[in-house]
Structure 1
Amino acid sequence: MTGIGTWDPAGYLRYAGERTRPFTDLLARVDAADPRVVVDLGCGEGTLTASLAGRWPGARVTGVDSSPEMLAAAAARVVPGRVEFTLGDVRDWQPRERVDVLVTNAVLHWVPGHADLLVRWAGQLAPGGWVAVQVPGNFRAPSHVLLAELCRSPRWAPVLAEVAPAADAVLDPAGYLEVLAGEGLAVEAWETTYLHALAGTDPVLGWVRSTALRPVLARLGEEDTAELTAEYAAALRRAYPPRADGTTLLPFRRVFAVGQAPGTSR
């Protein structure tokens, strides 16, 4: 994850099951047999990073994240000589050696112009190495459109216009395919819309509080946070009404791309 304010590991993990599914679906398309160097860029609190060591027992797995809070949580998952975590921004990261599997899951939407990063990372793969990318693709969904409208409204624009969610934060699958194929990789790209049945009071607000809403609230004091949150919550309740069983459906589009470099993997 990139450095935009303070991350809350507990809040992010509130919907750990729903957030794990895209990672699992992404890695299912990576057919690396016996990689030695595996890197997870934007590793968060490290649970999913550690799972990579279970899949590839012969690999040395490194998680990179810019959040000290997330890395403090990840420390419990360190395995000396097998799984390590390091502080760093994905925009500046450079590998010590060629990478066999490079994973970046739900990170690049925080990085404007990240196609250039993908070009650089493709050039850092070992022969036969893999890059696997997953980004949320819901920036035109009501959850994000409503937040962007609030941020750009006369009441909030002077403080929040710069952090309003951008509709073009990510590419579509064809865009990622073109970027990676342009670097000589064999690419598979796709999208999936997951339907999450969320329980509790204002569950969509709870979902976005630890993601899209986080950089917005970082700009506000306590009273303004309460005012904006109340207004946003009311709009979300109208856009995502509860079902008869009390749960609320949140359709969530995800965009995926997996590419393999030419050559024989080591």
Structure 2
Amino acid sequence: MPAAPAPTWDPGQYLRHADHRARPFGELLARIPEPPATAPRIADLGCGPGNVTAQLAERWPTAHITGYDNSPEMLARAEAHAGETPGGGRLDFAHADVGRWLPEETYDVIVSNATLQWVPGHVESFAAWVDRLAPGGTFAFQVPGNFDAPSHVLMRELSESTRWQGLLGGVLRHADAVLTPADYLERLAALGCAADVWETTYLHLLQGPDPDPVLDWVKGTGLRPVLTALEGDPKARTEFLDAYRGLLREAYPATGHGTVFPFRRVFAVARKEN
């Protein structure tokens, strides 16, 4: 089987459902306690196009916030948010592979929004990240918990089918991409953190001109490895998308008021004890 390619990202496609995608981060942000410093140092791991990183600057206007990402396309889009903030803080962005990122300084908050599912073995980094939190600092993240949803199951089954296995076998993430909420709680508590872990299933009502809104959604995220693997073969890419589109239409039928797209997410807020 081919090695899974590093997915290329399309910020414009990703932001097509920005309101729905940003909502979980807002709810995560609301649960993060105030950091110990008056001018906190904050890291956003997997900042993407920077739209949610900017919410950190709104919450803590005196903070120095750095968004880290390994996608040149996403970082180029994020630069629109960079600069001094009205409260005297600063927002900047830097290239980093979250799977290898180790803090070189002390942070008051380390946050990650819908990124760690892309990082195999991400829980093994938790100890190093918590270690570089200031006393009373917080590590917080949210990850999709929907790998057993039809959108992912159908994508994997199609990719592993006889027609596509040679091109796409082993390319996609599987159901073990994230841990259970109980496992995350155990890992964080074992590091001496006061941990709050929960899950929420959103019922996104997708509306708009696109007749296949679930396909449009996954084109911005979960389908990126497939699109990357097939980007040199437009005919094969079209064939795959046509087949997948038909499966999604059956799994997520349109209604008179839109297409309902259930989406489970797992949240964790871990405060380092003083």
Q: TM-score, normalised by structure 1?
A: 0.95
Structure 2, gaps ≥5 residues long: none
Quick check: 1:132 aligned with 2:135?
Answer: no
Which among 202, 227, 239 is matched to residue 239 of structure 2?
Answer: 227
Quick check: 1:238 aligned with 2:250?
Answer: yes
Say which SS state the counterpart of residue 238 (structure 2) adopts.
helix
1:32–1:101 CA contact under 8 A, matched in 2? no
Say which SS state the counterpart of residue 182 (structure 2) adopts.
helix
Structure 2 residue aligned with 1:155: 163
Which among 52, 73, 76 is matched to residue 77 of structure 2?
Answer: 73
Say which SS state the counterpart of residue 83 (structure 2) adopts.
coil
Q: 1:56 corresponds to which letter in structure 2?
A: W
Deviations 1:43-102 (A, max 9, x none): 011111122112112211000010111111111111146111001111222223111000
Q: 2:239 corresponds to which letter in structure 1?
A: E
Structure 2 residue aligned with 1:30: 32
CA distance in 2, matches of 1:103, 1:241: 35
For 1:57-96, list aligned pairs within 5 A: 57-80=61-84, 82-96=90-104
Structure 2 residue aligned with 1:20: 22
- Deviating above 2 A after TM superposition, structure 1's stretches of 4 or more consecutive aligned residues are none
Q: 1:225 corresponds to which letter in structure 2?
A: R
Q: Give the CA RMSD over aligned residues.
A: 1.3
Quick check: 1:106 aligned with 2:114?
Answer: yes
- Aligned-pair distance for 1:35? 5.2
Structure 1, gaps ≥5 residues long: none
Quick check: 1:262 aligned with 2:262?
Answer: no
Structure 1 residue aligned with 2:224: 214
Q: 1:140 corresponds to which letter in structure 2?
A: D
CA distance in 1, matches of 2:104, 2:96: 14
Q: 2:242 corresponds to which letter in structure 1?
A: A
- Aligned-pair distance for 1:210? 1.1
Deviations 1:83-123 (A, max 9, x none): 11001111222223111000011001111111101222111
Structure 1 residue aligned with 2:259: 248
Q: 2:241 corresponds to which letter in structure 1?
A: T
Structure 1 residue aligned with 2:153: 145
CA distance in 1, matches of 2:166, 2:126: 34
Tell me: CA distance 1:16–1:191, structure 2 relative to 1, closer, same or farther (3 Å): same
Say which SS state the counterpart of residue 97 (structure 2) adopts.
coil
CA distance in 2, matches of 1:154, 1:40: 40
Which among 117, 124, 133 is matched to residue 116 of structure 1?
Answer: 124
Q: TM-score, normalised by structure 2?
A: 0.92
Q: 2:184 corresponds to which letter in structure 1?
A: Y
CA distance in 2, matches of 1:54, 1:9: 22
- Aligned-pair distance for 1:203? 0.5
> What count of residue pairs does the alignment treat as equivalent?
260
